[in-house]
Structures are given as structure tokens and as C-alpha cells.
Chains A and B, each alone.
Chain A
Amino acid sequence: MIDLVLPVAILMAGSLLVYVVARLTRSKAATGVVALILLAVSGYIMYLLAAPKPPLDETAEAVQAVPLMAVFDLNPLAIFLAVISLGLTAVVALYSIGYMQQKNIGKYYALLLMMTGGMVGIALAGDLFNLFVMFEIMSLASFALVAFEDNWEPVEAGVKYLILSAMGSMVALLGIVLVFTWTGNLHLSVLHDSHLVPPDLALVVAALFVAGFGVKAAIVPMHTWLPDAHSAAPSGISAMLSGIVISAGLITMIKAIGVLPGTLVGLTLPLLAVLTMFGGNLMAWVQTDLKRMLAYSSIAHMGYILAGVAVAFAAPASVGFDGMRGGLMHIMNHAVMKGGAFLCAGAIIMLVGTRDLKQIAGIGRKVPLLGISFGIFVLALAGTPPFNGFISKLFICKAAIGCDNWGWALVLIVIINSFLSLFYYLPALNKVLLAREPSEQVRNASDQLPASVVLAIFVLALLTLALGIQPDMGFGLVDGAARSAAALIR
């Protein structure tokens, strides 16, 4: 079992190593490459661990149930989260070689690896204590990363994020404490199988978990930190935060609620999903700042994901698998397309020096590759076929319609929201690609992007298209994860 710690340990130790390398070599490229190698090693170990058993195997590694002992557990859901977070981190690490201009690049990569280590830890954690610790490691690293630049805006955003997250963590911790006091056990699968938590208490604990981890998952009305943090962070980090960290928050929530099977049925989660979708889309409508707009759209997409997950919770027996599949698939697709969109936004900022939508007019004409990729990401986010966002929304809808009483209403709301989102995506696209004439800033801007930035964006654009045209590529990963997640909550 101890070998399961390795992927996490490598990333944690690696974050120190990266820092040392950065101090010694003072080279961005070397640091970035070392980070990439570490990510690859961690991923390879994950692969080795998963390999003996086929990834679709539902039986998680059997572990001894010892209270207060660190338990790690490798199941398809863990592989799913680990693959996506490692993959996106690798792309972002590549991107950052060209993108980050600061001197203290060592800290940046160290924190990035630590954050990813936290996420892989969340994926592998088999008990509530470790789940919480890993969640906190991820959060701590992300606070520092949001406030990475020495300006007032990122620092303010970082502090805001820190305080709200801390509050969320406390609420969630209270839930964990309640579970432990009552049962004397923190083991996820033992608690899941034994139904030790009495129903009334389970209700309270479930609420605490949803609200607590929901802060990180940016569920409306716990989302208020997100627009500031995601727009102030360096763009690579925005891509990480929007692409996977908030989803990791949601997966933490799913895993934690797994100890209270059968509690969270009913309309709670669907209602939150509806609120989140509308909140994100309507607020994004009036934004004039590119990254802020994308940040709000992340909230909306969290709503779609939550809609799928909510369906799984509300009717675990019939559509649990379908709902989870839609939700998790959207997590994967969202990581690719929103990650890509933020990386594009970063590249635009690099060239033009502003995030104001008005002032970036025509940048897509000047740098066509950037414009086309941005177009692909934005259209994918708006759920336009043949890009990947459409496929996962389709499967969320397909799952939701399976809920007998209110499923059709949820489907309609998802589709309407998808339509509403056009009202901010298209103007942004028009500005970037079809502007009448380039703005002053764009005319003066250079059109040279570092190779690593271009490569990172290109990889994600290609994935966005590939996962849309050949969705089967993703199903292998998603199906197993959805099966184990659905089993978790039943």
C-alpha cells in the first residue's frame, strides 16, 4: 500500500528539488524541464500501479481498516483525477517556461508541483483525514500561486481566496470531526459500507461537506472568491485553477459524501446546480475583462458538471452511472478547453499587455494561430459541435432526462444556459477574430510568441477537437471513474 504514496511523494519532494534547481541554474527552461520530468515520473508510477489491474476494475485495493492510519486507495476515479491533473499540469509547466517572466521561477514551479501533488493526493486518499490534508496542501499552494505577482490586485485576490477557503475548510473539518466523534473511524470505504453515521447526523454532515468543499468547487453562493482569484493569478495558474482545482474540490466533496450513502438525495444538489449555471452565465454576460469573463464561465461550467453529479446523487439507482459519466466527462473536457482558453488569454496578455476586451480587438488577425485556437476553445465552451464541450453536455442531458419527475426541466435549463453563454462568448470571439480594425495596443503589439506557449496551446486545441470528433478516446478513462464514483455514493 505504501507504494501508493509514491506519486504524491515524488511531487512533494520534487517541489523542493525544482526550487533547488532553479536557484542553482537560474534558468527557466531547466526548471521547467525538471518539473516536466518529475510529472512524467509521477505519472509513470501511477501507470505502473494501475497496470497490474485493468483500469476498469471496480474492486479497489483492499486495505486494512485501522482508524487514524493513512489509507491510500487506487481506484479508477483516482486514476481519472490524477491523469487529468498531471496532464494539465504538464501542459501548464510547458507553457510557463515561455510565459513566466518573474525571477523567482523556482518558487513558482515548486508551488505548482505541490498543488498537483495535493490533487493526486486527493485522488488517492482513502480516508477522510488524508483527504482533508491533501485538500489543504492543494489549497495552500494555490493561495500562494494566486498571489504570485507583486501587485496589489493578486495579493488582495489571494487573501480573499485564503479567507474564504479557510472558512470552507473549517466547515468541512467540522463535518469530519462529527463523523469521527460518532464512529471513531475515518476510513472511506469502511464508513461507506457500514452505515455507521446515523441519518440525522448524516444530514448535518452532508450539508457541512457540501458547503465546505463547495467553496473550493465554486458552487453559487459560495463562489465569490473565484472571479478575483482566477483573473488575478498568472494565466497558467488560472488555467490550473479553473481547469482542475475547482473540479478537484468537487471530487473531494463526492468522496467525502461517499461516507454517508443515501443521504444527499432530493433536490438540493440539482437546485444548487441550477443556481450555479445561471449565476455564472448571467454574471459573465456583463464582464469586460477577458479573464474575468472566463472565470465566471468556469462557475457556469461547474454548474453543468454539478448538474450531472446531482443527477447521480438524486437517483443513484437508475441513472447514477449516467450522471457521473456526464459530470466527470465534462470535468475532463472542461480541463482541456478552459485550460486552453486561459492559456490563450495569457498569450494575449503577453502580447498586448491588457485583459480589457475592447483593447485586444483584432489580436486574432495579427496572430492567426492564437485566434483560431481561441475560437476553438470558446466555441467548445459554448457547447458547439464538433468540439468536446458538446459531447459532455449531451451526456449530462441524457443522464438528466432519466430522472423521472424533474429531469426534463434540468435538461432544458442546461440547454438554455448553453444558449445564454453565446451572448458573451460570441462578442469576445468577434472582438478577437472579426474586429473591424485592430486597436491601438494590438497594432503596437509584437506577434512573436515563445515556442513553448504556442506548443502548449496547440496541444490543448488539438485535444479539444479530437475529444469532440472521437469522444471514445475519453470514455475509457471516464467510464471506469464514473462506475467507481457511482458505486461510492450508492
Chain B
Amino acid sequence: MLVWLVGMASSRLMKWVASLTALATGGLTLKLLFALPVEPVEGVFWIPNAAVKIGLNLTGLGVWVAVVAGCVGAAAVIFSLKYMEAEEKQYPPTRYYFFTMLFIGSMIGLALADNLIIMYLFWELIGLCSYFLIAYFYMDPKAVRSGTKAFVVTRFGDIGFLFGIVVLWKATGSTNVFDILAMANAGEISMLMVGMAGAGFIAAAVGKSAQFPLHVWLPDAMEAPTTISALIHAACLVNAGVYLLALTYPIFMYLGWWAPVVLWIGAITALLAGVLAVMEFDIKRVLAYSTVSQLGFMVAAVGAGGIFASQFHLVNHAVFKALLFLCAGAIVHAVGTRDLRQMGGLGAKMPITKVCCFVGVAALAGIPVLNGFWSKDLLLDSVMMAGDWAAVPLIILIVSAALTAIYSLRMYWMVFSGPKAYEAPAHDGPWQMSVPLVALALAALLMWLAVGFYCSQAIAGVQFHIVPVEMSLADMFHHTVTNPLLAVSGLVVLIWIVLAVSWSRSGKVLSVEGRGVTALTETKFGFDPLYQGVIALIGGFCRVLRRLQTGDLNYNVASAAVGLIIILLLLAAR
């Protein structure tokens, strides 16, 4: 049951211990999945004096997130065995495996916790792990800066999370998610409290899932080792925000403004990140923006009430994005650069990677019949069903879907087909790298077949969410084929054909260049300088403040005297 304990306890032993534990953890989470539905587990007291209990959340929502973390985590750890070998002389592998295991363990803990405080604890732990893992190459000042940035920006969102927790604690007297859900469902919490907490939770999710306007940290986090990027993007960290919103959706459902705000944030993020991805030349940053964009889709779906579509997409996205990152890892490993312009024509040299990458890209773009297609369709459908107020975001999302098609093919083209730019020998990775690739590619190809299973397991134990009727494979198929949104997928396919034809004719690939564009991608639509400005402003204020501390005794005594007067005045004014 306490799968996450396994992940935590393994800590920093030898590598094979780490990988075995990772596999075991992945296996255990899967076992948990088949064990659903489970009777609720009575929690144990953690802080008896404050009546804080730890229990397990064994509902479908949480378990699926845990499964993703466990399985993708296992794949990433095995991939690391070979991938990180070259770095081990310079950087200690102990630290790498310690934090990686802690990372996976904490994410599973977050997904399975039924208590907001415990959730916050794990929530911060994954932030902390990401800080150390992104800054893993500490010799590179950029890596350290990115790690710090990731931690600080997500902590900024956490201001809201902690605030929300405390408000809900006061409002309900409990920190148990299900107690709070039950009370919210019964309408026992004052709307003011719910509103404050709702705003806080949005901030938290925006920070953690790199949504607009706190999207700035994720692209920079690409300084991490590629395996860690895969973990961050697919398994741990960024999913946490979407999961939090999905889990707590029923609490805030009745707030008039909450769902539209979430929907709009998601839609804007999806569009912005899509635009940035088209303009980017660093293979890992393209993938980073695509993650931001896909997370935007998921967040938007939560806003529209499509919890299950969003979580289904989360699972599918985890699979194909992990696949893509590991492909990118294999490519970078072989080529030694991350710049797309210096690649090209690698297809012949790396056939396995090429095929796997194609599957991943197609799933990302939503080409039928890969897994990404089904979930994206369900997702857009849920937005469409949300009502008239969701019309504009729906259009934005459809445009973003088209952008997804463009940047995904563009990336693939520049690496594997394209003009032959890369001459030096390159080859597929060793088996430690290939096996996870092929496994994930197969999953991306076939896992939509299991939608019935997904659905039945996902609604297990869920009481307060609007539960769709159980959906079988045939249902989904029927639903999708008869849906007008099928046109979106048609559009995507059309874009692919047109682009492929025109690029192979001209031998050139779409590349948007220019100083303005570079500036835009560098600053992520100007948000980086904005934040830096704010920080510099506060720093300047601090420097002014510092002058107050003159070190002159006269001033010191005067200030204490002023203190006395202030206190007297305050008391007198009372």
C-alpha cells in the first residue's frame, strides 16, 4: 500500500538498487491500479495534537497519477543507467539517484495523500528535488540559475496553495480532502472562504504546471539532464498542478468565476506556448513549450469540467512526452548538440530512434489513431460541451492544436529528414536506452485500446466529481467518429500532409528567425524581464532600506525611541 515509502527508502544506494526499486515501485503502482476499487483506508495520526491524519487516497484520480509517476519514473531511471554514465566522473551519481528516487517517491506520495498538509509537504518536496536535479550540472552557472528559478517560481505559486489550505482548514476544521469535498458538496463552506482558497489553488497550479503567466521556469529547466526533463515533464512535477485542480474541482465548482478563469488560463497558455514552440530551435526547449501547451489543454479541460478528459490526456501525454524526451536524449547523446539547425538526416543513422520519435510526434500532434488523438478529442469535446461561455477558449484551443501539428512535424523533420546537415557518425543508443523507447512507443500506439479500463478504474472511489457514465472502447470510438470535432483532427492531418509535401519540395523547413523573434523566445513573451524588473526593484528598495542601518549609535538609539513612541501612539489610538 505505502508504495511511496519504497521509493523514499531506496534513497542513495548503488545504481542497480535504484533501478530495481524504481521497477518495483512502478510494478507496485500498477498492482494498485488493478486492485481498485479499494475500501477507504483509515488514516493514522501524524500530529495528534492538531488532529492531522495521514491516510491514503485510493481513488482513480490519484492512483492514475501515481501509476504514471511510478512507470515513467522506472523507464527514466533505467534509461539513466547508460545516459548518465559519461557525467559520472564529474558529477556524483549518488546525488542524482538519491534525488531522482525521492522525486518519484514524493510524486507518488502527493498523488496518494488524502490530506492537504501532506500533499503540500510532498508538493514542496518535488519542488526541492527539481531544484537540485535541474541544478545537477552545477559547473554550469546556467543550470544553477535555472534550478533556482524553477524553485522560486513554483514557490511563488505555493504562497497561494498554503494560503488556500489554511483558509480551508479554518473553514472546515479539517485538512482531509474528502471531508472538505463532502462539506463543499453539502454547501457548508462560506463562499468567501471558498473563493479565497480557490484563488490560492489556481496560483499553486499555475506555478507548478508552468501555466501563463508563471510559465517562465519550465523552458529554462531544460538545463537538467534529459532524463530528468522527461521526469519533470511526463511523470512528476508539472502534472501535480493539473492533478490538484482536478481533485479539488468539486470544491470550487459553484464559484461563478473559478471555472472560466481556469479555462482561460489554460487556453492562453496553450496558444502562447504553441507559438513559442514554433519559433524555437533548441530541441529540448521545443519539447518544453509543447509540454506547457499540452498542460494548457489539460488545465482548460478542468476549467470546462472535463476532469476525466483532462486526466486521460495527462496519462497519454505522460507516455508520449516521456517517449519524446528520451528520444531527444538519445539524439543529444549521439549528436552532442541541442540545436535543431545542426541536425538533419539522422533518420538513416538512428532507425529505432526515428521510428519511436515518429510515434511520439504523431501522438503529440493528435494524428489518428494514436493515444494523443483520442484524449485530445475528448478534451476538446468537454470544452465544447461546457457551454457558450467556452466558445472563445475553444477556438483558441483549436488554433493551438493546429500549432501543435506544425511544431511537432517541424521538429521531427529538422532532426531526421531535412537537409543533411549533420555529417559525423551517429547511431542508436545501447539497449538500456532503446528498450524504454520501444516500450513507450508501443504504449503510445496501443494504450487507447484500454480506455474502458482507464475509465472504470478512474471513477473508482470518486464520489464528488461529476462522473461520466462508464465508457468502453466502442463508446469512445462511436462518440469520436460522430463528433464534429473530428474535423480538428482532419485539419491536423491536412497540415501534416501540406507541410511534408512543401518541405520535401523546397528542402527548407519553416524557420522563423530574426532579432524580434529571438527576443520573444528568450524572454517568453516578455515575462522574464518583467519578473527580473520586479525583483530588481525590490532589491533596490532593500538597498535604500539598508541605509537606515547606519551603524551610528545615535541613530540606533533614536530608532528605539521612535519605536517606543510608535507603540505608545498605537496603543493610545486603539
Footprint of B on A, CB under 8 Å?
159-160, 163-164, 167-168, 171, 203-204, 206-208, 210-211, 214-215, 219-222, 224-225, 227-228, 264-268, 271-272, 279, 282-283, 285-286, 379, 384-386, 390-391, 394-395, 397-398, 401-402, 408, 411-412, 415-416, 418-420, 422-423, 426-427, 430, 433-437, 471-472, 475, 479
Contact = CB atoms under 8 A, between A and B. Distances in A.
A203 B569 CA distance: 10
B49 A472 contact: yes
B538 A285 contact: yes
10 contacts: A159-B553, A163-B556, A207-B564, A207-B571, A224-B559, A398-B50, A401-B166, A401-B169, A411-B163, A436-B138
Contacts of A412: 159, 163
B493 interface: no
A221 to B, nearest CB: 4
A181 B571 CA distance: 22
Interface of B: 46-50, 117, 120-121, 124-125, 128, 135, 138-141, 144, 147-148, 151-152, 155-156, 158-159, 162-163, 166-167, 169-170, 196, 535, 538-539, 541-543, 545-546, 549, 551, 553, 555-557, 559-560, 562-564, 566-568, 570-572, 574
Contact of A379 (B128, B169, B557): B128
Contacts of B46: 471-472
A429 to B, nearest CB: 9
A211 B567 contact: yes
A423 to B, nearest CB: 7
A436 B560 contact: no
Contacts of B151: 422, 426
Nearest to A417: B159
Contacts of B555: 224
B556 A225 contact: yes
Contact of A222 (B148, B196, B541, B559): B559
B124 A164 contact: no
A222 B560 contact: yes
B557 A164 contact: yes
B412 to A, nearest CB: 35
B549 A224 contact: yes
A221 B562 contact: yes
A406 B64 CA distance: 40
B156 A283 contact: no
B228 to A, nearest CB: 15
A268 B557 contact: no
A285 B539 contact: yes
A264 B571 CA distance: 8
B203 to A, nearest CB: 11
B237 to A, nearest CB: 16
A467 to B, nearest CB: 11
A415 B162 contact: yes
A286 B570 CA distance: 30
A401 B167 contact: yes
A108 to B, nearest CB: 26
Contacts of A266: 570-571, 574
Given A207-B567, A415-B159, 6 more contacts: A163-B556, A207-B568, A221-B560, A394-B117, A423-B538, A436-B138
Contacts, number: 161
Contact of B170 (A272, A402, A472): A402
B141 to A, nearest CB: 6
B570 A203 contact: no
Nearest to B143: A434
A398 B539 contact: no
Contact of A211 (B117, B556, B564): B564
B545 A282 contact: yes
A411 B556 contact: no
A219 B567 CA distance: 11
B103 to A, nearest CB: 14
A471 B47 contact: yes
Best-surrounded residue of B48, B156, B559 (most CB of chain A within 10 A): B559
Contact of A268 (B144, B147, B559, B574): B574
Contact of B121 (A164, A279, A386): A386
Nearest to A365: B138
A132 B542 CA distance: 36
Given A215-B560, A225-B556, A398-B166, A426 B545 contact: no
A408 B193 CA distance: 10
Contact of B124 (A220, A390, A434): A390
A16 B315 CA distance: 70
A461 B439 CA distance: 43
Given A285-B538, A384-B124, A426-B151, A395 B571 contact: no
A419 B47 contact: no
A210 B563 CA distance: 9
Given A411-B163, A412-B163, A423 B152 contact: yes
Given A419-B155, A479-B49, A160 B553 contact: yes
A430 B570 contact: no
B220 to A, nearest CB: 15
B163 A272 contact: no
